[in-house]
Amino acid sequence: IRQAQGSHPPQGLPAPLRSSPPPGAAAAGVPEFIDVIVGEWYHPDERTQFMAGLAELDQRSAALGSGRFLDLDSGQQVALLETVEAEAFAARKADPKAPTPFWLRLKSLTVYGYYNSAVGSLQELDRPAIPGRFDGCEHLPAARPGGL
């Protein structure tokens, strides 16, 4: 994905998804997470659909006067993504059994990757993903004198 789209994350994403205080998706390693999921875990058909969605985003950006999505200013990015999101929800509502639209996949991967990272869970939410401490080899005191 990074090779196809460049190394900079879109700045038009909602606040927890971009690199701004608190740290955003780029600082949390979300682009690398998405690269692994799409590149190594997606079925080839899903990967093709996802990459086509990225290409379509750039095509729509070109129609706005930019060669690529990343070249749009942040206001144009937000406007385009709001349109894409509305279309994705409408498509999902019209045919719930159709493949998940690109934008919903991208947004889901971004949110999942962010809030399961140390940045998202510890810095923004201020809670570990798995609460409590685990000491697997902790010796327990005897329940009663002389007992096991």
Q: Would you write out the chain's pLDDT as a tens digit for each of its 148 residues?
A: 555 555 444 444 454 454 456 788 998 999 999 999 999 999 999 999 999 999 999 999 999 887 899 899 999 999 999 999 999 999 999 999 999 999 999 999 999 999 999 888 888 888 877 777 766 777 766 666 665 5
Residue 23 gets which letter from DSSP? P
Residue 39 gets which letter from DSSP? I
What is the model's pLDDT at position 67? Answer: 80
Distance set, CA 49 to CA 37, 46, 102, 103, 146 (Å):
14, 5, 7, 11, 66
What is the model's pLDDT at position 15? Answer: 46
**Do 39 and 1 meet the contact criterion of CB atoms below 8 Å apart?**
yes
What is the model's pLDDT at position 95? Answer: 97
